[in-house]
Amino acid sequence: MFQLESHIEEGERTLAGIWKGIALRGLLATAFAIVVLVWPNIGLGTLIALVGLFAITSGAATIIAAFRTSLPASHRWWMVLEGLLATAVGVVVFIWPGLSALALLYAIAAWAIAVGIIQLTLAFALPFSGGRSVLLMLGALLSATFGLVMFARPGAGAIALLALIAAFAFVTGVTQIVWALELRRVTATITRRFRPRTATTPLTDH
């Protein structure tokens, strides 16, 4: 775990309450990546179904988390937009008949770039302590970079497709889990600071 600052800014305080939702998204992404990697003979139809389910679930979790924060409306809607984009990707891959592997890859690439831009915007818009701000920006840049790589070099064949999708999901999942754990540390710190101290009176013999 990164040894980041114990100083807490408003951004961490605001998002600390949804660390479980962020952790859930990270676990879903990591589990999705593992399933794709250990199922080398997965068919395109099954892969599309998994991507759709993963995107819709992730989008729903993001939207719910957005409305559970105390973010100002101008910032909250960035999270809602991220959730809506994920949900839209999931719906599109489900209802698009005859979706090709390349089209699937491009849909995921567009999603990755959009998520990276939105998270990078939040990293600059919300006040975070230095180390945690870097962590959030790193996750955003990794997501956007994966999207750009998918667009620029989509690869050839099923193996390249699976590798790119799994790598994106795994890296995204791990960064979200690390970020969630940092927010959990923030929650624990806030709890310790504001926990009422019980006064102890020493026992004396009379």
Using the predicted structure, report yes or no on whether residue 9 has a pLDDT greater than 70. Answer: no
13 Cβ contact partners less than 8 Å away, ≥ 6 residues apart: 186, 190
Element at 146 (helix H, strand E): helix 130-152
**Reported confidence tier of residue 135, pLDDT bands at 50, 70, 90:** confident
Taking the C-alpha atoms of residue 139 and residue 133, their distance in angstroms, rounded to an integer, is: 10
pLDDT attached to residue 25: 87
125-137 mean pLDDT: 73
Using the predicted structure, report yes or no on whether residue 84 has a pLDDT greater than 90. Answer: yes
**Reported confidence tier of residue 122, pLDDT bands at 50, 70, 90:** confident
Residue 5 DSSP symbol: -
Mean pLDDT (the chain) is: 78
pLDDT attached to residue 2: 45
pLDDT attached to residue 30: 93
Residue 141 identity: L
**Whose structure tokens read 């990697």?**
37
33-54 mean pLDDT: 84
Taking the C-alpha atoms of residue 111 and residue 88, their distance in angstroms, rounded to an integer, is: 9
pLDDT attached to residue 42: 79
Residue 187 vs residue 97, higher pLDDT: 187
Task: Count, in order, helices (H) and strands (E) of the chain.
Answer: 7, 0
Q: Go through the chain and tell me how many residues it has.
A: 206
pLDDT attached to residue 158: 59
Q: CB of 88 within 8 A of CB of 45?
A: no
- Min mean pLDDT across 4-13, 66-75, 167-176 is at 4-13
- Min mean pLDDT across 22-31, 136-145, 182-191 is at 182-191
121-142 mean pLDDT: 78
**Reported confidence tier of residue 201, pLDDT bands at 50, 70, 90:** very low
